[in-house]
């Protein structure tokens, strides 16, 4: 009998889903970033849960307040990628009984901060005794069925685009986890990227509202992983020809003889949006993001053939399904 | 600085709530069994999360399938006590990587069973690596604002009533945790009560729909604890004069020289409804439960004075705030 450390998270989820009676008439398929329930006419109730486990998800140097904030923000990022505004957060906490009252307060402040930064409220939850800190958040929001952007709508020819720049969290984690060093002006933003992640909520809501996206996901498990997920859901491939790597990550990579593309593709805990856009709507999408003063870069195209490749300087190499996967890392 | 093992769960929750910005216009106050969001006119979206941690919530003898089922059922019981039909369940799982594929399947089957027994569907979730099995469920449902029964509506003179009989899980836990013995015909139902708990969903929905309740809670932390919670929320006391103790629990108590009242009052993991009813609606409430063929017993009255007492055979003793509390047990 195989242990789940050999199976990996994807197979674990498949096994569980295989046990479930499927709800008839699901508006969002299993495996997308959120779940949804029809409320009548075209309104959807949108829900999402994701758990932070201190042992695996909280690097050294991250405070309890930051950990709690991150537990909320990583859920909000999934709502952002679907174009859904989160209204409320429920929090289920597992707490070791050795924590102090001050620790609990720090957790409470972080939860509130994570929610309020994005206009949501923590409205309930429960606490439990556990051997490690576990923070399970669940979000609720409401949206129009026509607005929610799923993973499965990308078509060959669509432009793939991303917000922001990549590689910072991968480099930041190397500093925090492996103790690699870097000059102060680089260390600070790289660590900050890990400790205080931001969700692209305004951007996701604006793009979805304007109906310019065919598919969307966030890059929380790494850009490469996200491309593979979009590829599986939409049944397309991707040719990537460009990738905005953060200058701090480039400098960090140079210092340590690392490949900046590797940092950008196979990192994780990076909450950018990875979206596909119909070519005829590209200009509109670009304009929306320019108005928001947000970096938005076309990085390639969706292709008929289900291959995911990086082509730079005439050289082509496969983008592997590699990134953050529980039970394997 | 006090550790939370000295604070107890109630104070931990207070500390966290103290850190939160409160959502304006909350239809259900913090600390009730569910949270709710107004969807316009009088419709509420109702949400709830509760976490099962194997170490503290799964006694020896409980299978993985039963544990997963219980994680769902304990959440459904809270919906039941509010009179809200659960539609969907999200599940956030923390799993030790030593689990096998078969273990994961057992968990999946238990989750599905817990949801389907009550007409709900598991529609999403996520999995994470953790040192102990953690199952955090969050429920979603919709109801009319006028139907949802809160904890805070009990008034002096109201009749307190309970479904079912008490003491079985307290006795069952003594068998499973402490290895106490009992004759087979008693052991089986007592263990069953712990391993396969049932939520009173049909009963809760029927009572709420008929608008006969002024307040309601389930007895998951023990009957005494539930009475104290109702007392705090409604600002009333209770005089309890009768308590339906399960005959199996009475037999078990007799064999081991235990007080059956103690088993009935201070147990926990027992998912009966504890409700208050206006005297003029008592007959109606009783009739509804008779039609459902469910045991429904008036156990006492709500009082002006905020004391909770048990009066039997002319003797009065206080009912203590004692029961299941995380970080203290």
- Domain boundary residue, one of B92, B118, B144: B144
How large a percentage of chain B has pLDDT more than 70?
98
pLDDT tier for residue A325 given thresholds of 50, 70 and 90 = low
Strand-pairing partners, residue A300, are: A160, A240
Domain shared by B100 and B204, yes or no: no
Q: What is the dihedral of CA A33, B120, B133, A73, to 10 degrees?
A: 30
Q: Determine the pLDDT at residue B19.
A: 97
State the average pLDDT over residues A307-323: 90
Residue of A nearest to B88 (CA): A37
Domain shared by B201 and B306, yes or no: yes
Domain shared by B69 and B134, yes or no: yes
Question: Between residues B84 and A324, which one has the greater pLDDT?
Answer: B84
Question: Cα–Cα distance between B98 and B104 in angstroms, integer?
Answer: 11
Q: Which of A48, A49, A96, A221 to mutate to test the interface with B (most CBs of B within 10 A)?
A: A49
Nearest-CB residue to B35 (from A50, A88, A111): A88
Q: Which residues from B are below 8 Å from A22, CB to CB?
A: 121
Q: Which residues from B are below 8 Å from A122, CB to CB?
A: 20
Domain shared by A95 and A233, yes or no: no
Domain shared by B168 and B246, yes or no: yes
Instruction: Say whether pLDDT at B324 is over 80.
Output: no
Read off the pLDDT of residues B299-319 as tens digits, 9 standing for 90 and up.
Answer: 999 999 999 999 988 899 999
Residue with token string 């690392």: A258
Nearest-CA distance A132 → chain B (Å): 8
CA angle A57, A60, A62 (to 5 degrees): 75
Tell me if B97 and A56 make a contact (CB, 8 A cut-off). no
Nearest-CB residue to B20 (from A3, A93, A112): A112
What ipTM, to 2 d.p.?
0.94
Instruction: Look up the CATH number of the domain holding residue B123.
Output: 3.30.1330.10
Domain shared by A65 and A22, yes or no: yes
Instruction: Look up the CATH number of the domain holding residue A193.
Output: 3.90.650.10
In a domain, B329, yes or no: no
Domain shared by B165 and B313, yes or no: yes
Residue of B nearest to A6 (CA): B97
pLDDT tier for residue B117 given thresholds of 50, 70 and 90 = very high
Domain shared by B169 and B90, yes or no: no
In a domain, A216, yes or no: yes
Nearest-CB residue to B99 (from A4, A123, A125): A4
Nearest-CA distance B228 → chain A (Å): 18
Question: Cα–Cα distance between A273 and A78 in angstroms, integer?
Answer: 9
In a domain, A325, yes or no: no
State the average pLDDT over residues B4-14: 88
For CA atoms B82, B85, B88, B91, the dihedral sign is positive
Q: What is the token pair recorded at B152?
A: 């805070």
| Burial of A100 per CB tally in 10 Å (0-12, 13-18, 19+) | middle
Instruction: Say whether pLDDT at B126 is over 70.
Output: yes
Read off the pLDDT of residues A169-186 as tens digits, 9 standing for 90 and up.
Answer: 999 999 999 999 999 999
Domain shared by A31 and A173, yes or no: no
In chain A, the number of structural domains is 2
In a domain, B285, yes or no: yes
Instruction: Say whether pLDDT at B12 is over 90.
Output: yes
Nearest-CB residue to A94 (from B37, B102, B134): B134
Taking alpha carbons only, the member of B286, B165, B128 closest to residue A8 is: B128
Domain shared by A303 and A179, yes or no: yes
In a domain, A152, yes or no: no
Taking alpha carbons only, the member of B300, B270, B323 closest to residue B164 is: B270
Read off the pLDDT of residues B186-205 as tens digits, 9 standing for 90 and up.
Answer: 999 999 999 999 999 999 99
Domain shared by B196 and B238, yes or no: yes
Tell me if B4 and A140 make a contact (CB, 8 A cut-off). no
Read off the pLDDT of residues A64-94 as tens digits, 9 standing for 90 and up.
Answer: 999 999 999 999 999 999 999 999 999 999 9
Element (H, E) at B75: helix B64-82
Question: Cα–Cα distance between A263 and A281 in angstroms, integer?
Answer: 30
- SS3 state at A277: strand
State the average pLDDT over residues A197-210: 98
Q: Find how far residue A178's CA is from the centre of its chain.
A: 23
Read off the pLDDT of residues B232-286 as tens digits, 9 standing for 90 and up.
Answer: 999 999 999 999 999 999 999 999 999 999 999 998 899 999 999 999 999 999 9
Question: Cα–Cα distance between B196 and B187 in angstroms, integer?
Answer: 14
Domain shared by B64 and B193, yes or no: no
Residue of A nearest to B1 (CA): A100
In a domain, B55, yes or no: yes
CA distances from A160 to A195, A268, A290, B54, B127 (A): 28, 18, 17, 43, 28
Residue of B nearest to A10 (CA): B127
| Burial of B41 per CB tally in 10 Å (0-12, 13-18, 19+) | exposed
Supply the range of the domain harboring residue B247: 159-318
Tell me if B3 and A90 make a contact (CB, 8 A cut-off). no
Nearest-CB residue to A51 (from B16, B22, B136): B136
Nearest-CA distance B1 → chain A (Å): 6
């Amino acid at each position: 009998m195989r242990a789940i450390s050999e199976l990996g998270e994807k197979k674990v989820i498949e096994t569980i889903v295989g046990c479930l009676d499927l709800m008839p008439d699901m508006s969002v398929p299993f495996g997308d970033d959120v779940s949804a329930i029809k409320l009548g006419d075209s309104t959807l109730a949108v829900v999402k849960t994701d758990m932070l486990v201190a042992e695996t998800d909280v690097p050294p140097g991250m405070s309890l307040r930051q950990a709690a904030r991150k537990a909320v923000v990583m859920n909000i990022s999934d709502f952002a990628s679907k174009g859904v505004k989160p209204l409320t957060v429920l929090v289920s906490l597992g707490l070791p009984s050795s924590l102090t009252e001050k620790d609990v307060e720090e957790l409470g402040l972080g939860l509130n901060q994570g929610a309020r930064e994005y206009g949501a409220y923590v409205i309930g939850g429960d606490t439990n005794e556990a051997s490690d800190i576990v923070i399970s958040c669940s979000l609720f929001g409401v949206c129009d069925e026509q607005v929610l952007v799923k993973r499965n709508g990308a078509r060959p020819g669509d432009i793939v685009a991303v917000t922001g720049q990549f590689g910072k969290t991968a480099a930041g984690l190397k500093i925090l986890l492996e103790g690699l060093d870097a000059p102060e002006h680089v260390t600070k933003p790289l660590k900050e990227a890990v400790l205080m992640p931001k969700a692209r909520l305004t951007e996701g809501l604006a793009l979805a509202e304007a109906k310019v996206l065919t598919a969307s996901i966030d890059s929380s498990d790494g850009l490469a992983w996200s491309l593979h997920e979009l590829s599986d859901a939409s049944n397309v491939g991707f040719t990537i020809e460009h990738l905005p790597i953060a200058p701090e990550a480039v400098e960090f990579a140079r210092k340590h003889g690392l490949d900046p593309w590797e940092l950008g593709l196979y990192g994780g805990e990076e909450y950018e949006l990875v979206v596909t856009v119909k070519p005829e709507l590209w200009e509109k999408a670009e304009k929306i993001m320019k108005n928001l003063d947000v970096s938005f870069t076309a990085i390639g195209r969706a292709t008929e053939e289900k291959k995911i490749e990086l082509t730079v300087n005439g050289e082509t190499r496969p983008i592997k399904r590699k990134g953050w996967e529980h039970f394997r890392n």
